């Protein structure tokens, strides 16, 4: 029984780490996978989602609706950012990173100026349950379910809907897609908005568990970067397995030496992976397949 409960503890930790990595990375991965663009303001979209979620929850909206508001707000901001900045830089991916980093500075410091150093949080819903000697937060299970739901949702969206087909056509051969009448600009715009909205959704999901400060996006980006780098350009063949492997590494290191060593473990893993598999896990799988 003791061994079983500690096994459950480990599985819970791994699941939690997996959920965090998938959720932190999904918005970034959608944008990178579809457009080859790294959005360094990713953390600020998460922050935006969290702020809107907390504000609307405190205004009386039930939490799930508030989280949707957060996602929607981040998506709209993403649409505007794409139109004003990212669209000008499609042929210059390096410059996109730099420009979005500038946006991230503006967003973090602007939020600090306008809304102050922190915002009162909302409590963690659902309470906790106990297995063996330890108690666990039920909300974390919701987050794990959300991570799986988002992966399944993205799979369906990109494989079963008309938009998904157009989007995949656009990444494969943009000029051919254009010649066949696909409005590729619209596809890029929608993809960026979708990635931003996912980031906002994640911000909303994690808002009850975190302190709401302007720099909160910073606690997601390192994990998001690492997952995307290890995963490569494909969300389903890359991000999901990468999050699985990295989740186990992170959970093991964290339970052994604490939070920070979890991150150091991730970092070492990523540096080794890029030496061995420069195109990430998805690149490896795709090469094996072909």
Partner 1 sequence: MKSRSRFIRLLEGPQTLGRGPLFWAALGLAVLAAAAYPLLADGYTVGNTVYFFNWIFMALGLSLVWGYGGTLSFGQTAFFGLSGYAYGVLTLNFGAAYGLTLIALLAAMACSAVLAAVLGYFLYFGRISGVFLGIVTLSVTLVFERFMAQTAGPEWHIGVARLNGFNGMSGMPPLTLPWFGGSLTLFPDVGLYYLILTMLVLTYLGLRVLVNSKFGNVLVAIRENPERAEMLGYDVRKYQLIAFVIGAVLAGLSGALYTSWGQYITPSSMSITAAALPIVWVAVGGRGDLTATLIGTLVVLATFQALTIYGSQYALVVMGLLLVSTVLIAPEGLIVTFTKFAMRLAHGRNGSS
**Which residue ranges make up the site for partner 1 (CB under 8 A)?**
36, 38, 40, 85, 88-89, 92-95, 97-99, 101-106, 108-110, 112-113, 218, 221-222, 225-226, 228-229, 260, 263-264, 267, 270-272, 274-276, 278
Minimum distance of partner 1 from residue 145's CB (angstroms)? 28
The residue among 188, 266, 224 whose CA lies nearest residue 45 is: 224
Minimum distance of partner 1 from residue 109's CB (angstroms)? 4
Minimum distance of partner 1 from residue 241's CB (angstroms)? 18
Residue 89 or 182 having the CB closest to partner 1 = 89
The residue among 85, 78, 102 whose CA lies nearest residue 30 is: 78
Q: Report which DSSP code applies to 91.
A: T
Q: Report which DSSP code applies to 127.
A: -
Minimum distance of partner 1 from residue 83's CB (angstroms)? 13
Residue 4 or 260 having the CB closest to partner 1 = 260
Question: Cα separation of 31 and 164, whole Å?
Answer: 13
Minimum distance of partner 1 from residue 4's CB (angstroms)? 33
Residue 18 or 225 having the CB closest to partner 1 = 225
Minimum distance of partner 1 from residue 93's CB (angstroms)? 6
Measured from the Cβ of residue 34, the count of other Cβ atoms closer than 10 Å reads 22
SS3 content of the chain, % helix, strand, coil (to 5): 80, 5, 15
Residue owning tokens 């799930």: 64
Q: Report which DSSP code applies to 233.
A: S
The residue among 89, 23, 76, 95 whose CA lies nearest residue 197 is: 76
- Report whether 74 contacts 49 (CB < 8 A): yes
Helix (H, G, I), strand (E, B) or coil at 126: coil
Residue 166 or 229 having the CB closest to partner 1 = 229
Residue 201 or 270 having the CB closest to partner 1 = 270
Residue 23 or 66 having the CB closest to partner 1 = 23
């Amino acid at each position: 029984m003791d061994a079983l409960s500690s096994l459950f503890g480990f599985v819970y930790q791994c699941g939690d780490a997996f959920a965090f990595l998938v959720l932190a990375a999904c918005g970034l991965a959608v944008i990178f996978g579809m457009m080859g663009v790294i959005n360094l303001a990713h953390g600020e979209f998460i922050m935006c989602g969290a702020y809107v979620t907390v504000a609307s929850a405190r205004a009386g909206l039930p939490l799930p609706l508030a989280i949707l508001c957060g996602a929607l707000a981040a998506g709209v901001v993403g649409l505007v950012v794409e139109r004003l900045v990212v669209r000008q830089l499609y042929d210059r991916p390096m410059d996109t990173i730099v420009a979005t980093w500038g946006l991230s500075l503006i967003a973090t410091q602007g939020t600090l100026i306008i809304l102050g150093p922190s915002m009162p949080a909302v409590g963690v819903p659902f309470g906790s349950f106990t297995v063996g000697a330890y108690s666990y937060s039920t909300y974390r299970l919701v987050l794990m379910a959300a991570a799986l739901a988002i992966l399944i949702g993205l799979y369906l969206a990109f494989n079963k809907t008309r938009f998904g087909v157009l989007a995949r056509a656009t990444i494969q051969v943009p000029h051919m897609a254009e010649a066949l009448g696909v409005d590729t600009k619209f596809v890029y715009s929608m993809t960026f908005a979708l990635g931003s909205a996912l980031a906002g959704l994640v911000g909303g999901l994690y808002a009850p568990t975190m302190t709401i400060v302007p720099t909160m996006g910073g606690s997601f980006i390192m994990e998001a970067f690492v997952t995307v780098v290890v995963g490569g350009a494909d969300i389903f063949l890359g991000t999901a397995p990468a999050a699985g492997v990295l989740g186990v590494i992170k959970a093991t290191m964290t339970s052994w030496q604490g939070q920070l060593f979890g991150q150091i473990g991730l970092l070492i893993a990523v540096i080794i992976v890029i030496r061995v598999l420069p195109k990430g896990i998805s690149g490896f799988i795709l090469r094996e397949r072909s």
